[in-house]
């Protein structure tokens, strides 16, 4: 599974990129607005920080303007993935932009049928929102399973499943078990994947035993 981080905080992105475990970044206008900086400048800086795909979202709702915005965003860097909503106009824009060689992330997916349409439109990534489905008492992870099964039925569909709206380490694990290709997670969740109380306890015991020896490696 590939890991993307869902943030527009450059410092956090750099810290995670330095681990070698980060495969890409997803952003949206809300995340970039929190930075208080120029949208295009932030996107360009992120693209220069990571080698993998960087999702930058259009703000238009009609296909012609989505396409125009997508073309402008795609000129920022080769690793831009233009993010469009899963609407009829978004699918039209996806088809055009994909045909021009641009990576496209179709976002706000809440059904397997939507995911099938996005794949038919040539989406590079489909972003099903797990947490938001859970919020309304639906099983977000079931959607990942359904999309995986449909895509596997048709090998010609090359769209990657990008599990989004992830709230916890369990969401990451379950998405991986369900066959998601990518998980995009907040920085705190990504860092938390390495944490376990037994790891901390074991390390504490090792350090205590080592201290008793009075030795040093360096």
CA-based angle 30:108:47, to the nearest 5? 55
pLDDT of residue 37: 87
pLDDT of the residue at 8: 92
- The rounded percent of the chain whose pLDDT value lies above 70 is 100
Please report the pLDDT score of residue 33 as a whole number.
84
pLDDT of residue 1: 96
43/212 Cα distance (integer angstroms): 51
Is 83 an active-site residue? Answer: yes
The domain segmentation of the chain, as residue ranges, is 2-213
pLDDT band at 124 (very low <50, low <70, confident <90, very high): very high
Q: Which two tokens stand for residue 186?
A: 């907040």
Residue of 34, 83, 92, 120 marked catalytic:
83
The answer to whether the CB of 115 falls within 8 A of the CB of 84 is no
3-state SS assignment for residue 104: strand
Instruction: Give the chain's mean pLDDT.
Output: 95
What would the pLDDT profile of 169-214 be if each residue is shown by its tens digit?
Answer: 999 999 999 999 999 999 999 999 999 999 999 999 999 999 999 9
CATH class of 2-213: alpha beta
Name the band, by pLDDT with cuts 50, 70 and 90, for residue 86: very high
Position 141 scores a pLDDT of 95
Torsion, Cα 198 201 203 205, to 10 degrees, reads -130
pLDDT at res. 4: 97
- pLDDT value at position 115? 98
Q: What is the mean pLDDT of residues 113-139?
A: 96
Residue 183 tokens read as: 């998980």
pLDDT for position 176:
97
> What's the whole-model pTM score?
0.93
The total of other beta-carbon atoms located within 10 Å of residue 186's CB is: 15
What pLDDT sits at residue 35?
Answer: 81
Q: Say what percent of the chain tops pLDDT 90.
A: 95
pLDDT digits (tens, 9 = 90+) for 29-80: 888 888 888 999 999 999 999 999 999 999 999 999 999 999 999 999 999 9
Q: What is the pLDDT of residue 58?
A: 96
- Structural contact between residues 56 and 83, judged by C-beta atoms closer than 8 angstroms: yes
pLDDT class of 130 with cuts at 50, 70, 90: very high
């Amino acid at each position: 599974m590939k890991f993307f981080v869902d943030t527009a905080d450059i410092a956090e992105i750099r810290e995670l990129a330095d681990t070698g475990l980060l495969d890409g970044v997803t952003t949206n206008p809300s995340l970039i607005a929190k930075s208080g900086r120029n949208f295009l400048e932030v996107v360009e800086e992120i693209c220069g920080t990571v080698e993998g795909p960087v999702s930058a979202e259009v703000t238009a709702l009609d296909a012609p303007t989505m396409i125009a915005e997508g073309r402008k965003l795609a000129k920022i860097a080769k690793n831009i993935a233009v993010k469009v909503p899963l609407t009829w106009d978004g699918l039209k824009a996806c088809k055009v932009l994909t045909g021009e060689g641009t990576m496209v992330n179709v976002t706000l997916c809440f059904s397997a049928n939507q995911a099938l349409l996005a794949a038919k439109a040539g989406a590079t990534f489909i972003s099903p929102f797990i947490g938001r489905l859970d919020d309304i008492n639906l099983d977000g992870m079931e959607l990942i399973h359904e999309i995986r099964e449909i895509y596997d039925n048709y090998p010609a569909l090359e769209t990657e499943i990008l599990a989004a709206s992830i709230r916890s380490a369990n969401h990451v694990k379950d998405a991986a078990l369900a066959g998601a290709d990518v998980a995009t997670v907040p920085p705190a969740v990504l860092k938390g994947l390495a944490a376990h109380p037994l790891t901390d306890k074991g390390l504490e015991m090792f350090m205590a035993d080592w201290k008793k020896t009075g030795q040093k490696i360096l």
